[in-house]
Structure 1
């Protein structure tokens, strides 16, 4: 795995943990927090969300959007591409799975949102290359939340509970 990606991920986690959530979640808007992604604009840094895997309407929307915008790379069953941990000849990593076998659930909601909205290359910076585009300008914040909520809704209860713990840690709640 690319060390710059790991360092950036750790920085995002630290920033999320230090900042904490600034207000309760509004069902139609993400929670506001300062400083998610170093180097991003204030508007980009002002939004972090809580996924809502129990919101059946949002999850249904997310399932449709995922099928249209994500499944061609990440798989119709969230299985990702083959050998997703090994770099391709061009140096880029294949699309990882979003099912429990992948690492998606190891990241807090805010980081997943930022990665989806801005794309890994923009998050990692320093010339990092990825086939994953940012969906800013393509998907609304609500649509990104819907896709991520759909993904989380497919995880077994144990994985969802562990992911909730990661979110608590990122928010400074231990």
Structure 2
């Protein structure tokens, strides 16, 4: 009986240690990832090549997005998918790349990297820096709620613009709803 009790205690302690280790790993990734992404961005600008933030990453930084009025700075990653979005906003494949003509679409999670999206107002300035250090300026011209299950995003190839997309409602934790907050911004100069 004593052996069974000892074994049960050891198994319980082992399980607790494993759970703690898993939690510590998640926290370490959350702390380290932004540092590695920022370094990859700097390296990509210096060497003019895509630089992954860690060797096994499925994404890399393609732009830096800032909203000066809100004190926001985010690195935009390649791909608006499950590999990129946990670490930062993602550039939607098939839309214009930062620094190129056309409309750029960037998506982000409402409760992390795009938690500021609901606070963007008409006229708010957004700056997008490309790898070649060119900065494109945009002004918010509107925002609306779209039902992703019935509406497609209108990118409009003939104009230069920026569209930011995040889940809606932004203030709740309900997962996987069909509604998206879509923020549209028009080009407002390049340096």
Q: Normalized against structure 1, the TM-score is what?
A: 0.26
Comparing both structures, which one devotes a greater share of its residues to helix? 1
Comparing both structures, which one devotes a greater share of its residues to strand? 2
**Structure having the higher Rg:** 2
Q: Normalized against structure 2, the TM-score is what?
A: 0.25
